[in-house]
Amino acid sequence: MAPRKPASVNIKDVARHAGVSLGSASRVVNNVPNVGEATRAKVLAAIEALGYRPNHAAQSLRSRSTRTIGCLVTDVSNPLYAQLFRALEERFLAEGYLLLLANGLNDPDREIALLNLFRLRGMDGVVIAPGNERHAGVLKAVAALEMPAVVLDRDLASPHDKVQFDHAAGMRAAVARLAGLGHRRIALVQSQSANRPMRRRAEGLRAACKAHGLEFDDRWLVQLPSSTSSAYDAVAALLATPDRPTALLVQGTSILVETLNAIAAAGLSLPRDLSLVTLGDPDFAVHHAPPLTALRVDLHAVADRTAERLLARLGGETAEAVSLRVPSELIERGSCGPAP
Amino acid sequence: MAPRKPASVNIKDVARHAGVSLGSASRVVNNVPNVGEATRAKVLAAIEALGYRPNHAAQSLRSRSTRTIGCLVTDVSNPLYAQLFRALEERFLAEGYLLLLANGLNDPDREIALLNLFRLRGMDGVVIAPGNERHAGVLKAVAALEMPAVVLDRDLASPHDKVQFDHAAGMRAAVARLAGLGHRRIALVQSQSANRPMRRRAEGLRAACKAHGLEFDDRWLVQLPSSTSSAYDAVAALLATPDRPTALLVQGTSILVETLNAIAAAGLSLPRDLSLVTLGDPDFAVHHAPPLTALRVDLHAVADRTAERLLARLGGETAEAVSLRVPSELIERGSCGPAP
DNA sequence: TTGAAAGCGCTAACAT
DNA sequence: ATGTTAGCGCTTTCAA
């Protein structure tokens, strides 16, 4: 491909215009300390006069740094990831890094291709949450990454810093609250995936119930085979059992809405007949009648931890990989009440 | 900053290993036709053996192309933009372009900074939907863009290709349907912003009503001053009027949920007492009871048009800027019925 | 078809 | 403090 643009003004032009050497011009551009006041002023003036803007590709080539971070999530249509991206963008932009977002869409081949692309494009660092945490190819692609990486809420067998959501603690908080309200039968409704969040929530609920001396019947664990399967039917069936749970923990926007419909259809009313905690905090939770009590991770804390780790590695930190845990917060609204 | 990585394998190594010249190696890497079979094979083997991967910064410097597209939206937390990004990513990835997403957050200064960053980073092209379509600084920053750009659903005074959502046609379709069901009083509930979509929807509704011989009372146009103001109260008031509208067009997730609450609180039931069309198609619309009839733009069509335009410009097309209109589709579900 | 060589714009080491 | 210079890795003329 032939160069298209009519060679724009470069640092050489700046140096010439300012009547100083190439090196001095570069020093001013890069804020290197050892520069005389007069020189600096002349160069600054030249930059202004010529409208000089450094060529990023040349800088990258020379400095071996693109000042770009790759960000691989499952799907930015998921508000969790969208908000996380925003929070990360905030942190990295402040440090002069641009964030490149890519959707893995739970497709291992796509995730692998994207990871390789990140490598090819010379990302300075990456933050990744691969949907397929056990896929050999994905694991290999992650291992092949030669830049610093932070793994988000995944149990990935890799020597990278990890930022995990503390699902267990979240479950403890929710169960503690519910138990305090007299609930003894608590159910969990979520999609069925083999990934860390799902596993941890189920484990966490079991452990928390045990800790509070509550029985936990496996029927209370509703794992919906696929996103197309009807949460409505499953919840309706659950609520029709004689010793039905008195509190529901519900994950996923669609599942939540269908669950709410099933509750209404069963003639049950929140929080009188049933208590509900949403896992994750969709837009409408706060607007719902009654407003829905939510258990959610503090995404800003996640972004802070993630940025802190990655920035430290970019700064050359070589200490062993760490695994950070970010707590969930229980936002009390109106959907939990005393057990009937 | 001193180079960190221990000089990786470059095309020179490949050439040496293959026993050919630098130029030949480059030709093979870039699939240039005039290359002998034997040479090609040797180079390919060397690439394989050495694990060669081209240095993107060097390629960019030389070819003056980063193969990266900047994408400026208001906020990717808005599902509309998230889905649009996904659709665009699909198109551009297929052409070997990476998409860089940035959130303008409706802050003109931020939008300007981002636009300048796109220029600085040498994006090959951009697709932008600046929140502040009339802000002088933003306009200036857009004008300063020296790469191809496509403007999304904004009335921006700029000489760029535009892809507009056909709000007027959408309104016509919705009103036609509603009028067919006997509705004569149709209200629009949306947030109050001076941007194109809001303006076009209000204009469109007025025109469509007129075309169908329906009166349009300005009280039917509910523009909520800010996202924090209560749609609930406004809708409750609207429904309490003696000659209340029999159909509602509602835009925005939060507003929609509050509207639904207000409808329920008024003892009204969809679609018996009132019909409703949601403008935009949030996750829960299909799961709601009853499922909500939605008017939405075809985002894949938007992405197709946008990619087609930008790719054409990247390919050197210099024809005058065009303005494309993408239709909305009315998804009939269960929230519209005969006028009471 | 292939090789040799120039140079994209920049940073940093070295020399002054 | 400033100037000079050698590349970073690559594409693309130009010659052969």
Verify whether the Cβ–Cβ distance A89 to B79 is below 8 Å.
Answer: no
SS (H, E, C) chain A: CCCCCCCCCCHHHHHHHHCCCHHHHHHHHCCCCCCCHHHHHHHHHHHHHHCCCCCHHHHHHHHCCCCEEEEEECCCCCHHHHHHHHHHHHHHHHCCCEEEEEECCCCHHHHHHHHHHHHHCCCCEEEECCCCCCCHHHHHHHHHCCCCEEEECCCCCCCCEEEEECHHHHHHHHHHHHHHCCCCCEEEEEECCCCHHHHHHHHHHHHHHHHCCCCCCHHHEEEECCCCCCHHHHHHHHHHCCCCCCEEEEECHHHHHHHHHHHHHCCCCCCCCCEEEEECCCHHHHCCCCCCEEEEECHHHHHHHHHHHHHHHHCCCCCCCCEEEECEEEECCCCCCCCC
State the average pLDDT over residues A191-213: 94
Integer distance in angstroms from CA A260 to C1' C4? 74
Between CA B265 and CA B75 the distance in angstroms is 32
Tens of pLDDT, residues A297-336: 999 999 999 999 999 999 999 999 999 999 999 999 999 9
Tens of pLDDT, residues A236-245: 999 999 999 9
User: Which nt is closest to the CA of B53, judged by C1'?
Assistant: D9
Chain B span 8-67 residues with beta carbon within 7 Å of strand D: 8, 10-12, 22-23, 25-27, 29-30, 52, 54-55, 58-59, 61-63
* DSSP structure string for B152-183: ES----SSSEEEEE-HHHHHHHHHHHHHHTT-
Q: Residue B1 pLDDT > 60, yes or no?
A: no
Q: How confident is the model at residue A47, as a pLDDT?
A: 96
User: Which nt is closest to the CA of B23, judged by C1'?
Assistant: C3
Tens of pLDDT, residues A20-70: 999 999 999 999 988 999 999 999 999 999 999 999 999 999 999 999 999
Sort out which chain B residues have CB atoms less than 8 A from A283's CB and list them: 253-254, 257, 282
Q: How confident is the model at residue B26, as a pLDDT?
A: 96
Tens of pLDDT, residues B242-298: 999 999 999 998 899 899 999 999 999 999 999 999 999 988 898 888 999 999 999
Between CA B71 and CA B63 the distance in angstroms is 22
Of A176-180, A195-199, B125-129, minimum mean pLDDT range:
A195-199
Helix B11-18, helix B22-29: angle, nearest 10: 110
**Nearest residue in chain B measured CA to CA from A59:** B57
Cα B65 to Cα A7, A92, B76, B125, B314: the distances in Å are 13, 24, 26, 10, 10
* Percentage of chain A lying above the pLDDT 70 cut: 97
Q: Across the interface, which of A3, A64, A121 has its CB nearest the CB of B4? A: A64
Tens of pLDDT, residues B225-244: 876 678 999 999 999 999 99
- The three-class DSSP label of residue B324 is strand
**Nearest residue in chain A measured CA to CA from B77:** A82
Q: How confident is the model at residue B225, as a pLDDT?
A: 86
Q: How confident is the model at residue B6, as a pLDDT?
A: 45
State the average pLDDT over residues B313-334: 96
Q: Band of the pLDDT at A6, cuts 50, 70, 90?
A: very low
Q: How confident is the model at residue B194, as a pLDDT?
A: 82
* Percentage of chain B lying above the pLDDT 70 cut: 97
Q: Across the interface, which of A1, A53, A121 has its CB nearest the CB of B56? A: A121
Integer distance in angstroms from CA A40 to C1' C16? 20
Task: Look over chain A and give the mean of its residue pLDDT values, rounded to a whole number.
Answer: 94
Instruction: List strands edge to edge, sheet with B328-331.
Output: B221-224, B186-191, B247-251, B275-279, B293-297, B328-331
Q: Residue A284 pLDDT > 90, yes or no?
A: no
Between CA A22 and CA A186 the distance in angstroms is 71
Q: Locate B106 and state its tokens.
A: 């409706």
Integer distance in angstroms from CA B58 to C1' C11? 15
**Nearest residue in chain B measured CA to CA from A231:** B287
Q: How confident is the model at residue A2, as a pLDDT?
A: 36
Contacts of A167 (CB under 8 A, 6+ apart): A197, A200, A201, A203, A204, A328
Q: Residue A225 pLDDT > 90, yes or no?
A: no
The CA radius of gyration of chain A, in Å to the nearest whole number, is 26
Q: Quick check: pTM over 0.85? A: yes
Q: Quick one: which residue's CA is nearest to D9's C1'? A: B58
- A62 CB contact with strand D at below 7 Å: yes
